[in-house]
């Protein structure tokens, strides 16, 4: 028996009402499966530890178009500071309020229904459609999309185009497409000195003093000049810890935590090499631990960017710009197995904030943009 197909608003409300704080899914993926199995999609659940992942596909031919997203959300913050309960979706003054409304349950609802409606209207379309959904995007991102991509790679299941439903719009709905993201590289640097009494400087090695010039050089370093799509790589210190709490003691160590947001003009290896060369120039005794949060990815102008730009123009009258600003996303994992990855979704002004929301009037157009993009790629 065929179920009644919900509207985007109805499905978004259904998903928002599920308190799927990372890494919980709370049945969101099962609801998506119910809607798509009715039009021939075949679902495969790929759980890893406490993370739920869904790979649901229709068709076996190329090109393969994938919508990627997440059903997990960040914590609400103080619930009593919300204008309405964060997991009771509320429509007020034309806005849909609730945790995940913008990031990104509305996008998931929109592309789920776009896929269903596209298949219903064009049952003989070329290629294949698939959704990759995780409950680990807002968390450590260890057992989510990255693991599913590893499975797909092992099975030699290739993806041609991927649209990630991240909230990318800035001032107006439809104004921005992300065609890449910067990489993130974090270093934890421990400068070793010798603790002692401030009154006997000849008996101590102050790690704060010792590291000062090196830190100045790191801060002034030009790492690259960026390129046509990316701004220059940036270096920022986020934490500096030293001292014993006493005013008359020189500390024995100083710990500096810094981060690079880097473009495709640099590599993790090139950044590490330059950092070590600057530190070694000052003959510092140090330990340095690195964590690569994500490598940059870039999709240059091509079939996918043109398809979705045209869909946005036809739906909203806006010519969307391509840019790469912002933090990391699961696109960095998908780009390893897919040559063209972009992100597009609603306005991002309220994401992760109290009273997160999306304009109700943007929901159906979001679905239409996703659906028209499919038409531009698969018809």
Binding site as annotated, residues for Zn(2+): 70, 103, 138, 166, 352
Q: What's the CA gap between 260 and 316, in Å, rounded?
A: 36
Q: Residue 287's CB: how many other CB atoms inside 10 A?
A: 11
Matching residue, tokens 């699961």: 330
Residues identified as active-site: 72, 137
Q: How many angstroms separate the most distant Cα atoms in the chain?
A: 85
CA distances to 43, 107, 350 from 59, rounded to whole Å, are 12, 23, 37
Q: What's the CA gap between 163 and 179, in Å, rounded?
A: 10
- The answer to whether residues 309 and 344 touch, using CB atoms and an 8 Å cutoff, is no
Structure tokens of 187?
């270093």
Q: Residue 59's CB: how many other CB atoms inside 10 A?
A: 19
Q: Which of 306, 337, 303 is nearest to 322 (CA)?
A: 306
Contacts of 304 (CB under 8 A, 6+ apart): 161, 163, 340, 341, 342, 377
Alpha helices, DSSP H only, in 221-293? 268-281
Structure tokens of 158?
């290739």
Q: Residue 190's CB: how many other CB atoms inside 10 A?
A: 18
Structure tokens of 206?
């102050």
Q: What's the CA gap between 14 and 3, in Å, rounded?
A: 15
Q: What's the CA gap between 15 and 25, in Å, rounded?
A: 9
Q: What's the CA gap between 237 and 344, in Å, rounded?
A: 31
- The answer to whether residues 348 and 170 touch, using CB atoms and an 8 Å cutoff, is yes
User: What torsion do the CA atoms of 158, 66, 343, 173 make, to the nearest 10 degrees?
Assistant: 160
Q: Distance from CA of residue 290 to its chain's centroid?
A: 21
């Amino acid at each position: 028996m065929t179920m009644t197909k919900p509207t985007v608003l109805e499905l978004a409300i259904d998903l928002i009402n599920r308190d799927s704080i990372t890494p919980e899914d709370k049945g969101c993926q099962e609801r998506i499966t119910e809607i798509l199995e009715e039009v021939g999609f075949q679902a495969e659940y790929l759980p890893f530890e406490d993370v739920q992942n869904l790979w649901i596909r229709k068709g076996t031919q190329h090109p393969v178009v994938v919508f990627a997203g997440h059903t997990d959300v960040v914590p609400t913050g103080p619930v009593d500071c919300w204008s309405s309960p964060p997991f009771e979706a509320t429509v007020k003054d034309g806005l849909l309020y609730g945790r995940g409304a913008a990031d990104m349950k509305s996008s998931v609802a929109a592309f789920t229904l776009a896929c269903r409606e596209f298949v219903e209207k064009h049952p003989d379309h070329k290629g294949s459609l698939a959704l990759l959904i995780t409950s680990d995007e807002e968390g450590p991102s260890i057992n989510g999309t990255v693991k599913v991509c590893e499975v797909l790679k092992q099975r030699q299941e290739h993806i041609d185009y991927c649209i990630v439903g991240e909230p990318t719009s800035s001032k107006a709905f439809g104004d921005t497409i992300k065609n890449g993201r910067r990489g993130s590289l974090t270093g934890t640097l421990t400068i070793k000195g010798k603790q002692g009494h401030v009154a006997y400087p000849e008996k101590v090695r102050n790690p704060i003093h010792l590291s000062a010039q090196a830190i100045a050089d790191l801060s002034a370093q030009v790492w690259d000049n960026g390129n046509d799509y990316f701004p220059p790589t940036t270096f920022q210190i986020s934490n500096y810890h030293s001292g014993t709490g006493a005013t008359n003691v020189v500390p024995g160590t100083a710990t500096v935590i810094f981060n690079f947001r880097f473009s495709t003009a640099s590599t993790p290896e090139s950044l590490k090499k330059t950092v070590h060369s600057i530190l070694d120039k000052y003959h510092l005794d140090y330990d340095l631990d690195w964590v690569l949060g994500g490598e940059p990815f870039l999709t240059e102008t091509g079939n996918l960017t043109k398809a979705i730009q045209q869909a946005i123009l036809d739906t909203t009258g806006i010519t969307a710009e391509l840019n790469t600003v912002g933090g990391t996303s699961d696109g960095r994992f998908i780009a390893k197995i897919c040559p063209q990855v972009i992100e597009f979704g609603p306005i991002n002004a309220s994401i992760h904030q109290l009273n997160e929301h999306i304009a109700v009037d943007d929901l159906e157009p979001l679905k239409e943009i996703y659906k028209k993009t499919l038409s531009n790629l698969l018809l």
